[in-house]
Amino acid sequence: MRKRIGVQFRKTRKTTHTYERIQACTRCHTYHVLWETHCETCGRAYTPIRQVSHAVTRRYVQTRFLLLGLFVCLAVLSAETVLQLALAGGIGCVLFVLFFVMQKKYGTYERDVQFQHFLTREMETIKKSLLRHLEEVGNDVKEGHLKEAYEKTREIGHFIDSDTIKIRKIMFLNHYVLRKDMELELETLIPSMYDKDFMEYVREVIKVQPSLVKKSVLTYVRRYKNQILLLENGDQLIGQVAGAALRMKSYVDEYQDLIIEFIDFLPRERLLRLAKMVQTHTDEGWEQLYHSTKNRVDTHYAFDPDFKGLL
């Protein structure tokens, strides 16, 4: 077993939308998704991508306003009579008012639409910036800076959902001692195929943050049960995962087969919770689960006062 070391990871930013993580250097026309505030090339402060897009949209609006003004001026200059001049001026004023009202009413919608178009146009440039960040990760690994490599890969992972990124993060995380106070991830690391390093990571996560085990993790463990059993203490690992499923009744409903099969490997406190659950929900179609739990309790905890009278 590898020796794990203690570490304090940088706090990740909390954002409502993923694109809020993207910063732009308007001078170099590059993008950045890490934590630096200024461009390493030119030193200019990064600008949020939404703000850059709004500036582009504002220029579009100003251009249309100027074109409208030019059209009105041409109409006024082309007038040959006072009546035509009055009509040109009046119609021009009406158009300006309509333009202003439309911008007031639909300006937010236009900015959102233009932002989507802006992201589409800039996608290749953003990808190049992400690849540059991945090169930085490679350099960090070569220099032995695994903490920085993980933190950068974690940020890149918000934009690239691939097994390569997930496995890299798992390998980095498996070098460190995990703690309850850490911002750990689990669902975002689930690979599309079986990976033993991922399961070793799951083993450590369950010890400190079992609440991270959700439906997708349970489904993964059930799917690759046979491969997991080949790991050292693989049966205990599955038992721990099954025990984590007892946090929610809906999980117990869906993963009864996994709980029943590995009930012998449930930790005592998890078995106690299960006994209380099956006692309360005797009419939930849990007959087989009830009998399996009762047999386990009768065999190993018959004289345990905490289990007395439950089943």
Question: Helix and strand tally (H, E) in the chain?
Answer: 12, 3
* pTM of the predicted protein model: 0.81
Q: Report DSSP state, residue 186.
A: S
pLDDT digit string (tens) for 32-60? 999 998 988 888 899 999 888 888 777 77
Among 10-24, 53-67, 282-296, the minimum mean pLDDT is found in 53-67
pLDDT digit string (tens) for 223-249? 999 999 999 999 999 999 999 989 899
Q: Which pLDDT score is estimated for 2?
A: 63
Whether the per-residue pLDDT at 279 is higher than 80: the answer is yes
Contact 189, 170 (CB under 8 A): yes
Confidence of residue 104 (pLDDT cuts 50, 70, 90): confident
Confidence of residue 283 (pLDDT cuts 50, 70, 90): low
Angle at which helices 215-223 and 196-208 cross, to 10°: 140
Confidence of residue 25 (pLDDT cuts 50, 70, 90): very high
Residue where the block lists tokens 């309509």: 98
Nearest to 42 by CA among 63, 62, 28: 28
pLDDT digit string (tens) for 202-230? 999 999 999 999 999 999 999 999 999 99
Q: Which pLDDT score is estimated for 275?
A: 92
pLDDT digit string (tens) for 145-165? 999 999 999 999 999 999 999
Q: Report percent pLDDT > 90 for the chain.
A: 57
Transcribe 130-163 into DSSP letters. HHHHHHHHHHHHHTT-HHHHHHHHHHHTTT---H
